């Protein structure tokens, strides 16, 4: 019995899933939210039951202790010795990490050294790691990077056409994110296609944040996010691809500072910025259905931008066998999928089976037998990727 805990530590939250790796089942999951507050919330789910507690949790260390104690208290495990590995999600691995690694002090130093590339994320992940390391010193820890899957991109894909010294001295390049999701979904798609020797897949991870990935023979050759998760498609509140001059133009016209521009592009743009309604796709869709024109145009931009990347990756892949939809919007919104397919159907000969598109079955084909490209809906599972890599690296 190998139990592994997959952890995603944010600056004020800590999400986890406890896996039984023999059958890859989730035996418990939960989240510590509002760390640092008097009214922090701890939620634990197992056996179809949910326990919620509001209490002061001053820091991650306390959050981890609470989480581990409650696993014992609720008899999810009888002793912490049953947990043989801890896998940590790390957003930014820079060009230091091209695969998951055993997490030790050297790796922690490496992650800290590139924290300027993802200031909010990497520091929080390290805080989570140190808290778990202290609570479970005798157990193996593994770092799993969102960027690692994209380390197979070629220089002509990851370099920006800016002076080369910014790449050499400041590590400015495309890294891409959502790697664990793109890896999981493309791998599952290859399985569903019967494990062909060669495959050309486009994964559309459409959530609050979103990115596309072109996967050739199981390897990422391009992805829409860049130096940061701001690049690529339109997102809930992020602008995605824009003419870079938009930034300097707005600054000189309105006097906005660089840091305000960062907030505007990350938190006030995307579906929210265009519609003025919400960053949540469901809210924007509801407003569009009630006749709100800005909401309607926001949904059209969203579909068009995704279609633009599909077209571009179709060319780079030299064709496409399958397009996969995943994450909150990709898995749940049949209208978002239909709008996107509508943009590409004539060029790519894609045909959707309406009934399959509306069904809620996981891991399903939604294209017709006549379609020139297969289209799948595949729920993502980044935590399972983390747990599998932890098992692999710790030889469990
Ligand atoms: P994620 O970041 O993967 O959790 O995805 C969050 C996004 O998924 C939000 O924009 C939600 O509005 C969207 N979403 C979740 N469920 C649905 C649904 N049933 N229909 C449309 N969008 C959904």
Q: In this structure, are 290 and 349 located in the same domain? A: yes
Catalytic center residues:
146
Q: In this structure, are 122 and 226 located in the same domain? A: no
Q: What's the whole-model pTM score?
A: 0.96
For residue 119, the model assigns a pLDDT of 78
- Asked if residue 287 lies in contact with residue 276, where contact means CB atoms within 8 angstroms, the answer is no
- Taking only Cα atoms into account, the Rg of the chain, rounded to an integer number of angstroms, comes to 21
CA–CA separation, 172 and 196 (whole Å): 36
CA of 332 to the centre of ligand 1 (A): 7
Residue 67 lies in a domain: yes
Number of domains in the chain: 2
pLDDT digits 0-9 by tens, 127-160: 999 999 999 999 999 999 999 999 999 999 999 9
Residue 110 lies in a domain: yes
End-to-end CA distance of the chain: 9
Q: In this structure, are 266 and 340 located in the same domain? A: yes
Residue 203 lies in a domain: yes
> How far is the CA of 23 from the CAs of 2, 3, 19, 28, in angstroms?
10, 10, 9, 14
Other CB atoms within 10 Å distance of the CB of residue 310 = 23
Residue 152 lies in a domain: no
Task: Give the ligand 1 atom nearest the CA of 380.
Answer: 3
Q: 1 pLDDT exceeds 90?
A: no
CATH of the domain at 358: 3.30.420.40
CA of 7 to the centre of ligand 1 (A): 22
CA–CA separation, 57 and 38 (whole Å): 7
CA–CA separation, 319 and 133 (whole Å): 46
88 Cβ contact partners less than 8 Å away, ≥ 6 residues apart: 7, 9, 103, 125, 128, 129, 132, 141, 142, 143, 144, 386
Q: In this structure, are 204 and 82 located in the same domain? A: no
Arithmetic mean of pLDDT over the chain: 96
Four-point Cα dihedral 146, 148, 154, 159, nearest 10: 50
Specify the 3-state DSSP secondary structure of 186: helix
Task: Give the ligand 1 atom nearest the CA of 285.
Answer: 21
pLDDT digits 0-9 by tens, 321-359: 999 999 999 999 999 999 999 999 999 999 999 999 999
Protein residues with CB under 6 Å of any ligand 1 atom = 207-208, 236, 280-282, 327-329, 332-333
Residue 189 lies in a domain: no
Q: Which domain holds residue 51?
A: 3-145
CB burial of residue 326 (10 Å; 0-12, 13-18, 19+): buried
């Amino acid at each position: 019995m190998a139990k592994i805990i997959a952890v995603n530590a944010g600056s004020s939250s800590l999400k986890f899933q406890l896996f039984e790796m023999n059958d890859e089942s989730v035996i418990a999951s939960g989240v510590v939210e509002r760390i640092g507050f008097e009214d922090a919330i701890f939620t634990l789910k197992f056996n179809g039951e949910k326990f919620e507690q509001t209490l002061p949790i001053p820091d991650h260390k306390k959050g981890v202790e609470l989480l581990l104690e409650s696993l014992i208290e609720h008899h999810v495990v009888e002793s912490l010795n049953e947990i043989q590995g801890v896998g940590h999600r790390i957003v930014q691995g820079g060009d230091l990490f091209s695969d998951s690694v055993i997490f030790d002090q050297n790796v922690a130093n490496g992650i800290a050294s590139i924290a300027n590339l993802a200031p909010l994320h990497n520091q929080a992940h390290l805080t989570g790691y140190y808290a778990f390391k202290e609570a479970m010193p005798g157990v193996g820890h593994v770092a799993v990077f969102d960027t690692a899957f994209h380390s197979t991109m070629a220089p002509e894909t990851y370099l920006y056409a800016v002076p080369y010294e910014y790449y050499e001295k400041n590590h400015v390049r495309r890294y891409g994110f959502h790697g664990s999701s793109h890896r999981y979904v493309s791998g599952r798609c290859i399985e569903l296609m019967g494990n062909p020797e060669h495959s050309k897949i486009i994964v559309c991870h459409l959530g609050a944040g979103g990115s596309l990935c072109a996967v050739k023979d199981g390897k990422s050759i391009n992805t829409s996010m860049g130096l940061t998760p701001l690049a690529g498609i339109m997102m809930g509140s992020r602008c995605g691809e824009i003419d870079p001059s938009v930034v300097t133009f707005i600054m000189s016209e309105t006097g906005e500072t660089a840091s305000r521009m960062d907030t505007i592009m990350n938190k006030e743009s995307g579906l929210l910025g265009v519609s003025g309604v919400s960053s949540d796709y469901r809210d924007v869709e509801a407003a569009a259905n009630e006749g709100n024109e800005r909401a309607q145009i926001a949904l059209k931009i969203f579909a068009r931008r995704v279609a633009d990347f599909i077209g571009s990756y179709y060319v780079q892949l030299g064709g496409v066998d399958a397009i996969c939809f995943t994450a909150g919007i990709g898995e749940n919104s049949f209208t978002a999928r239909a709008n996107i397919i509508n943009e590409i159907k004539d060029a790519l000969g894609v045909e959707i089976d309406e009934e399959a598109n509306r069904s809620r079955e996981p891991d399903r084909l939604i294209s017709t037998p006549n379609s020139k490209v297969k289209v799948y809906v595949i729920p993502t599972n980044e935590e399972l990727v983390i747990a599998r890599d932890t098992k692999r690296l710790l030889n469990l």
